Structure 1
């Protein structure tokens, strides 16, 4: 009889509990966020109409229906979720996946999303990931400088103080610079350029939405300095996402100037989403920079089976297994 040389590995994989290192809040069943969007980064009705014909959707639908014991259709899954209730179905999913802890980036604001405390009824351990650009926007939208207009120094004082006050209540910082101005972050951004960027951001009116590259670079570096001070990792969105993203500038190779900066060699920098389709580039960076780590969430499970396997393999082509 042929011996299964992977039997021990297979058994370990089936038994081990997992940490979801980058999740977003679960939304209520009556949220207008459509279930179909869980299977794709598309957001318009026209683009979503093609999702049921994607390999990843067909596989996911089959797997979810098998877990639920219901009809393998979107309507069948929707009906089953509503009949069991959100808390029950969430606990079932987390349990089946053996997820023992989740780190939630609650900076992605969704209609009727549940807070972190709600998730603790489904998973034993829940921690927060703090999105730095959202915190910067919140300050500019909600704070009023004492008796004066905003300056870069006033913003910096408030922003850094807020970050430090929250540092013991989060497990990681997170940046979406890739969505706003790209990953070619200048670690030596000129303060005058950053101040002009702040003025440009404010002149667009409220609600404030940060897009200016110099100001985003400045916010990122302030965040990285606080992360270093409190020994917090920083997660960086890299690779694919929804269509607000210019994929060309989410290649992690653009981070070279930052990674070469001697001030931040002790920071732990986590490249999210397998940097897909730049997985090999991410693997290279993790192999030559000790501070770089890789996470393959989103690529798993949103790609096809072949895509998931190939992207994880590409991450492991050069990188240490301990860093993926």
Structure 2
């Protein structure tokens, strides 16, 4: 779509600093956590085809060139130059980076610098809790469960001073059907004692998960919640955003916005929640990247019910700079197709289409996250503001 402001990628991840081998590269094209079936390749997916459509010309190759030719060119350029060329072509002006994933990944500042943009941190709650627990593991640590709970609360408040948002992956760790009430201090200490005594493994305890949510809500920072599809660590039916309805009601008067990430295939449920609760927003990230030329249909379904100022853009890109390119390109094409079609039919004016497009692309995210250049119209901000 023409005339959009620089995009605000309000939820994404770092980029690998090393040159991946072909198998590693292809693994980033899918949410699967295992190799492809014999005789198949992850390049034969909508994401793989989109990479071959949009990325080769940015590295001096023809669109749709064979994967091996593209990967050879990538190796010749090296990871730094590849990252610079690809990210600088996305049209993204601000990156809000979830720093909770492990690995040799670029942080917010490094990611943004490669694309000539600004970077901001989104703190993953479960990762923060697991790091905080490092000094409390085992029976000795369990005896200090109350101290741990105080330290964790302090850690959340501390990072809230610099992070633009929090993010929870409770959908992976337990599912979204959580008790919506904030747990009491005794509940928290009991759950923490058991978790720490077990060595503080991966956090899955529902009491501590919802405690983290309420700690984040208390800061007033926006809270991003993974919903919808993801890797096989997830039970998809446990990630339906409609399961959050009671929590949404419970947080309605807190002053904290909830942002439902990804949502697919439950994007209509997410659009409904955004439509009836003022503090709920929905996000198209990941949905468009994995649906390729069907992205316009998915975006149109989001816009059936979601108020236009409640839908945010993101790529959810992780590992490969190519996924930033694909996410932003598919968004622009899908938005142009959907809104342009409505203008052509006479349902919308061209001016309204431009205004709504700017809100989805950047304006609403700048308002929700308190970024410079915010405002409901979202039409005037520039890169790096």
TM-score, normalised relative to structure 2 = 0.73
Provide the residue aligned with 1:7 in structure 2: none
1:183/1:255 contact within 8 Å kept: yes
Q: Aligned pair 1:37/2:27, yes or no?
A: yes
* Runs of at least 5 residues in structure 1 that lack an aligned partner in the other structure: 1-9
Distance 2:146 2:94 in 1: 38
Give the number of the structure with larger relative contact order, counting CA–CA contacts within 8 Å between residues 6 or more apart: 2
Q: Aligned pair 1:70/2:52, yes or no?
A: no
| Partner SS state of residue 51, structure 2 | helix
Q: Aligned pair 1:51/2:51, yes or no?
A: no
1:151/1:195 contact within 8 Å kept: no
Distance 1:293 1:277 in 2: 16
Q: For residues 69-109 of structure 1, what are the alpha-carbon distances to aligned partners after superposition, in whole Å with 9 as ceiling and x for unaligned?
A: 32622222222222223232222222222111111101011
The number of residues matched between the two structures is 304
1:22/1:105 contact within 8 Å kept: yes
Distance 2:19 2:89 in 1: 24
Q: CA RMSD in A?
A: 2.4
Q: Aligned pair 1:222/2:229, yes or no?
A: no
- Map of 1:1-324 to 2, 5 A cutoff? 10-13=1-4, 16-30=5-19, 34-46=24-36, 49-70=40-61, 72-110=65-103, 112-123=104-115, 124-142=117-135, 149-191=142-184, 192-205=186-199, 208-226=201-219, 228=220, 232-261=221-250, 264-273=253-262, 275-306=263-294, 308-324=295-311
Distance 2:26 2:105 in 1: 17
1:270/1:295 contact within 8 Å kept: yes
Q: Mark the CA change 1:50 to 1:159 in structure 2 (over 3 Å): closer, same or farther.
A: same
Distance 1:69 1:121 in 2: 22
- State the 1:26 CA deviation: 0.7
Provide the residue aligned with 1:5 in structure 2: none
- State the 1:245 CA deviation: 0.6
Q: Mark the CA change 1:67 to 1:185 in structure 2 (over 3 Å): closer, same or farther.
A: same
Distance 1:79 1:150 in 2: 56
Distance 1:114 1:27 in 2: 6
Provide the residue aligned with 1:4 in structure 2: none
